[in-house]
Structure 1
Amino acid sequence: MQLPSDVRPYRRTEVFTEATVPAALRRAHNTKAGVWGLIHVLEGRLTYRVTDPGRPPQAQVLSAETAPGVVEPGVLHEVEPLGPVRFFVEFHRA
């Protein structure tokens, strides 16, 4: 999955660690309509799961060596740190 060519970054979160990742990101949540996300892992590993009932279940392990995780607008998803990790989410829109 890739971002559409017509979206641009407009905001990003702070860098989270396994100790500071908000509880809301660890359970099913989504982005607003028209908002895409990129999950950038700086160190360690993080599982990114698509949990939307309208989609086939997906799980992807992200690391600094992998491409960022792509979050589609309105799709339920969650993350789970796999040990020590540092990551941030970059938000994009048209």
Structure 2
Amino acid sequence: MKDLPTNVSAYKKTPEFTEETIPVGLLKDHNTKAGVWGKIVILSGELEYTIQEPEVEVIVLCDSNHGVVEPTILHHIKPLGSVRFYVEFYR
């Protein structure tokens, strides 16, 4: 998993989600547009974050380990029990 580039700025943030309120689209493969990065911020609990390209990479995210979403790269998440998180978008 890559780090956020230093030359991007946050411009939008999702509401806080739980294992019961995660939008269905986040649970299946999806991507961001070209030039749009994401940061998955865990407030409590854990999420399994699967990056599909260029190789499959599975990472467990927690409050001390956020996820970075690269532009146009297919990925999905899966809650591992009770979880609270949000996603910030950067460009």
Bucket of the pairwise TM-score, normalised by the shorter protein? over 0.9
Q: In the TM superposition, what is the alpha-carbon distance from 1:76 to its structure 2 partner?
A: 0.2
Partner of 1:36: 37
Q: Counterparts of 1:7-18 in structure 2 under 5 Å?
A: 7-18=8-19
Tell me how far apart the structure 2 counterparts of residues 89 and 65 of structure 1 sit (CA, whole Å): 15
Distance (whole Å) between structure 1 residues aligned to residue 88 and residue 64 of structure 2: 17
SS of 1:60's equivalent? strand
Q: Is 1:89 equivalent to 2:90 in the alignment?
A: no
Structure 2 unaligned runs (5+)?
none
Shift of 1:72: 0.2
Report the counterpart of residue 25 of structure 1 in structure 2.
Answer: 26
Aligned-CA RMSD value: 0.6
Give 1:45's aligned residue: 46
State the identity as a percent: 49
Distance in 2 separating the partners of 1:15 and 1:63: 15
What TM-score do the two structures reach when normalised by structure 2?
0.96
5 Å-filtered alignment, 1:71-82, equals: 71-82=69-80
Q: TM-score, normalised by structure 1?
A: 0.93
Q: Name the counterpart of 1:60.
A: 59
1:65 Cα shift? 2.2
Q: 1:22-67 CA deviation, whole Å, 9 max, x = no partner?
A: 0000000000110000000000000000123xx110000000122x
- In the aligned structure 1, how far is the partner of 2:71 from the partner of 2:8? 12
